[in-house]
Amino acid sequence: MRRAAFFTVTLAATLAVLGFLVLPVVAIFTHVAPGTLASQLSNRVVVDALVVSAKTTFAAQALVLLFGTPAAYLLATHRFRGRVLLVTALELPLVLPPAVAGIGLLVAFGRMGLLHTSIPFTQTAVVLAVAFVSGPLYVRAAIAAFEAVDPQLVDAARTLGAGPARRFLRVALPLARSGLAAGEALAFARGLGEFGATIMFAGSLQRVTQTLPLAIYAEFDVNFDVTLAIGGLLVLVSAALLVALKLATSWTLSPPRSAPRFAPSTSS
């Protein structure tokens, strides 16, 4: 009796949570006819915002991967005084309010800021804002992925003559790839949905800095069907990223057919 009662309570709680989380997503696609949503995707505002979002998000993620991967590898494989503070500083943007992040970028890169640049309210500003808010997600996951790599495998590569760069590229990076892919999927999703820091640092200029989330805000009181169409598009992209994340975390490394040769071959 007690077991049945407990199961009933947990099932009711699960259904309540599921309904609460799924209902708003379903409402986006049922508020208007699917044909109307699809037709709004050809709206000039949607097309322009999609182009800006694609360009800036991919550029930001390229920066995140290029700089974040070696930084995460260093932090994962070295222990030094002040490491905890450094990792905390890297993770700080994760908990900063987006508006604070935008203000910080503005006073750092603005004409009257620390660096006295003309970056604010340009497409470059969007790239920097997206990289700032999404990069820590990738770095955090990448550190965990590199820490999970068996150090004995890296040591074995060193004994076979592989230098630091080759050990990173040929051993650590392939072994950590599933964790890196999962972190990048999360970072990409976070960057694509970025709003607060972008509007504070880059503004919302159509065809220049107006991304998909900013277009939703701009069109909310103008054309609600366009707002729903953009929302539905972002839902589909987010769902695809979640599927990719699930696939990435389920990857298994197949055993190598032959042992890698790191040492230069010598002829007898």
Residue environment code for 19-51, b if the CB has 16+ CB neighbours within 10 A, otherwise e: eeeeeeeeebeeeeeeeebeebeebebbebbbe
Closest CA to 259 of 143, 184, 156: 156
pLDDT tens track for 102-144: 999 999 999 888 999 999 999 999 999 999 999 999 999 999 9
Its pTM stands at 0.85
Query: Domain residues of the chain, as ranges?
Result: 32-249
Helix (H) or strand (E) holding 173: helix 173-175
- Which residues make Cβ contacts (< 8 Å) with residue 221, sequence separation at least 6? none
May I ask the CATH architecture of the domain 32-249? Orthogonal Bundle (1.10)
Q: How far is CA 201 from CA 121, 197, 235, 239, in A?
A: 6, 6, 25, 28
pLDDT tens track for 141-199: 999 999 999 888 888 888 888 888 888 988 899 999 988 998 999 999 999 999 999 99
Residue 163 φ then ψ, to 5°: -80, 175
pLDDT tens track for 213-265: 999 999 998 999 999 999 999 999 989 888 877 776 665 444 444 444 554 54
Tokens of 268: 């007898």
